[in-house]
Structure 1
């Protein structure tokens, strides 16, 4: 329903106007017989539009427009007569939306006016919604607990939100229109990217490689902070890149906590190393005494006990060695790694003999624990050690619905069905080097999983599932 206020000193005309406007049922018309009456009515009632004469009794129609526009933003339709013709431009300049010249047929006049009212009110409502949405968007952008920065294609700053200005303690005139590297927002020497123009181009051509960056900055007060940036290229309607928008969050506290945790882990690692060294030394001494006891004893029962002591000592030594392997898992931050390079490097550390290594990793990168190469080494070594008369080992990958599968397969003897899960237990098997148990633990740090899906008698096949967000396929530069 549209509500319209009709203003005229001619009461019979008001009645005719009201009847004509309300004829279709979608408009409700109120009336006022003077300008003051209209203003008082608008103060206490909400209307969607006004239709007024050029001379509504106590004041000029254009004066009424000015007074209405001081407090109300609604369509204003002015009806002139022969005595006021020629003032349409003045009325439009004052804020009128439409001007009509009165015709003798009032009903026909207001049928036409009703059409313009519907059009004007519809446009005003759309504009009001747009203005409201823009205000909400502006408030969200300016006050979001997030640093928002826009660069043009030459790396000049074109926008920065209020939160970012307060965060860094800067003013807009210190930043807008200037090259990023020439402003206090520039990253410190920890940033490997020196040419920001290059950075903008790379975000466009290799968004997967530059979508997320973490750099150190200085606030105006000298405080050093770390910011994690998410970068996205901006394009125009012709799909031409016009710049980059970056969203930043403060990661200083997290990094400080990580550093503190790293230092604590390093101290624990040192303590573990010293303790492990001392225990192994004592085991060596104990082993010597056990061996001397064996040589001196002739009693069969006693020799049996001594043999059990030797086995227990060996088990303790293996446990201590296991703690050495396990202590480094999760100690360092995950990082992006090229699998093809890892396989190539490991090819020189494993004795393949006549077995052919097929490296089909392409340009796949994964975000994994630095010990991931130990996992690959374990898979290669286990294939050589336990695969029997195999002829090849293939490492490849496959994009699937749930992520990416990194596959290590061979044409050896394979693994029996009943052992497919047992091989990942710590107590299973012998001479497995770093061990599939530890391999699964390493993979679990970054949310990876591993399983064996080969066919016994035809070859082993290990599948490492890497979830979305932890892998990317980089295109050749």
Structure 2
């Protein structure tokens, strides 16, 4: 039926229009019709604008739908693809229309198909959104990783539809894999370092140590985690550490040596390279330190220092002894030149030979210098040491009594032999009317006394205060 005929038919059937026009003049009726015509034209313009807005909105929706960064698929409950956007089609490497009416399952990798079946079953039997990750196959056979989010939707006609959003996470997976491998290499490096690694938080609580760090202190790594840094040091170390941590809080990185307390109670020397951990807001979050055990090196340095001290002392003593003996040789030589008595000449020559033997013995003792710094302190038998020291002196008529028990041992440095030699030489040189030198031992409570005494004139009171001064 033509549009005009349909309108006239409706007009005839309409009582409202007939009543509205009853009693009106033709001019009034024409005016009403003209107003009504204008209203219709305005309505028509509004309808055209609304129609255009709808088309624009539809176009925007289509653009958003088709060119969204994720693929959108609408599936039947049998997982047949009924709708797909351009992004989804591009992900699978296919033209969109060729994907329609195909089963989505065919694009799931063979190994992931059972997982997909379980995923779809869960969606169809639950109202909540489900998420899963799958390996898919493109048309060209290349695989890629995708994260799929799906939900069941019931349409107006009662049919069930599955809507899914698919994101390509291949690059993310690759980055995650690279990150895991990097972390694995980093952890392997940290765990196999010959240097300890120690991490604390802002409250100085241990959050990480590598196996080497735990080994240095005699713990396992698990035993150290959660413990305060201060529990691994003595009181003096805690005071020093408090000052060091304040510098970490100020962002100061530094290298320093430190003493730590091991689990067995012994102390170790360590060299630290400490660095503060500062977050992006500039807030102190803790510190990390590389720790090297330098205990052996420190003891070696101390031993070297002590050896140098001993060598300087022995050199001074030996030089002093040899110079004294050389003076004696010169004196005997002068006396021999001045006498014409054959008996005295023989005596002077004999004493000169004796003094020369003493010089030789003194020089022979210097061979033991080679052991200083190599041979450390140890248990020494005193009786044979004194007997050996006696060979370096010329006692003349003086009797030396060694009354030390032959089995007596003390913990001492090998240099102690020179101590006994010096004691005897000083007694002989300064004792004047001395006849006897005696070595003996005595125990007093828990103390062992080694005694050297003689029957000479002794030491004056004013000299006793100076006797242990260097160079006296």
Global fold match (TM > 0.5) = no
Structure of higher CA gyration radius = 2
Structure with the greater relative contact order (CA < 8 A, sep ≥ 6): 1 or 2?
1
- Structure with the higher fraction of residues in helix conformation: 2
Shorter-normalised TM range: 0.3 to 0.5
- Structure 2 length normalisation: TM-score? 0.38
- Structure 1 length normalisation: TM-score? 0.38
